[in-house]
């Protein structure tokens, strides 16, 4: 079993849901990324999604795009990111999964990326630009290494295709809550509940919902039907405030925000 499988088994037994913050690696620098990860895990997050910056993100809104650009302008490299992850994972009470472009994996080398990521303590990867039809080579390597290959299903994914994607997913399914790009929303569509309910009947895998979640009322709406919730832009936006505020204050505000959402999840 992969580390992600073990995590969701523990959460299921405990009757709890996963909370997964998203952090952009290297924004504003690697040291602060490590501090943010430690802070959100210390506040009770179950796992953490680490965005590996690349120049052409296909589903990210302006907040995350800007964070990727800031990191790329600092010449952040994959090796340095994995070095940072490797330093913090031995003491981290939560798995890390990467949100990474297939182009980045391909340039690094598929077997080498999985080996290097595992050595750093990474438990899985979300590869948004890799269609299921073209993923068997990477999927086979991941299976052989107990490394989760997490796939996305969206509201516009045809149901037959959604079932196929689920059959080729390991770890958990990332269900995209809204049509469009990442970013904070004031409201989320009610049909998410029905869509996730249908998907749950098709697969035994945990289903985590992301995109647009930013408020306690979103968490209270979705936690009953999800196995986990993913929050990205609201955290990345707060990280960007280090340009105007002391780092310690920004870190505390991120921790308090995560604690607020966790309280809503457990209500």
Which tokens hold the place of 244? Answer: 């105007």
CA distance 89 to 48: 11
Exactly one of 49, 116, 184, 227 is catalytic; name it. 49
CA-wise closest residue to 223 among 185, 202, 182, 192: 192
Are the C-beta atoms of 82 and 122 separated by less than 8 Å? yes
How far, in whole angstroms, is CA 218 from its chain's centroid? 17
144 class by beta-carbon count within 10 Å (0-12 exposed, 13-18 middle, 19+ buried): exposed
Are the C-beta atoms of 28 and 241 separated by less than 8 Å? no
Exactly one of 60, 116, 184, 227 is catalytic; name it. 60
Q: How many helices (H) and strands (E) does the chain have?
A: 12, 8
Whether 39 is catalytic is no
Whether 49 is catalytic is yes
Q: Which residues are catalytic?
A: 49, 60
């Amino acid at each position: 079993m992969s580390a992600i499988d073990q995590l969701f088994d523990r959460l299921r037994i405990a009757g709890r849901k996963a909370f997964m913050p998203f952090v952009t690696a290297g924004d504003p620098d690697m040291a602060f990324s490590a501090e943010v990860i430690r802070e959100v895990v210390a506040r009770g997050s179950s796992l953490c999604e680490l965005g590996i910056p690349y120049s052409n993100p296909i589903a990210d809104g302006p907040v995350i795009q800007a964070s990727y650009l800031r990191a790329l302008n600092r010449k952040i490299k994959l090796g340095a990111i994995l070095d940072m992850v490797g330093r913090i994972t031995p003491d981290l009470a939560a798995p890390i999964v990467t949100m990474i472009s297939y182009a980045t994996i391909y340039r690094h080398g598929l077997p080498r990326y999985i080996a290097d990521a595992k050595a750093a303590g990474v438990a899985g990867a979300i590869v948004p630009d890799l269609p299921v039809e073209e993923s068997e080579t990477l999927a086979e390597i991941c299976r052989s290494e107990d490394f989760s290959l997490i796939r996305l299903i969206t509201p516009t994914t045809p149901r037959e295709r959604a079932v196929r994607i689920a059959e080729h997913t390991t770890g958990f399914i990332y269900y995209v809550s809204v049509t469009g790009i990442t970013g904070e929303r004031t409201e989320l569509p009610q049909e998410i509940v029905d869509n996730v309910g249908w998907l749950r009947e098709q697969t035994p895998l945990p289903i985590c919902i992301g995109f647009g979640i930013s408020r306690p009322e979103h968490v209270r709406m979705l936690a009953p039907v999800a196995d986990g919730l993913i929050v990205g832009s609201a955290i990345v936006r707060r990280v960007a405030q280090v340009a105007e505020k002391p780092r310690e204050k920004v870190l505390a505000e991120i921790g308090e925000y995560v604690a607020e959402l966790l309280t809503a999840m457990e209500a």
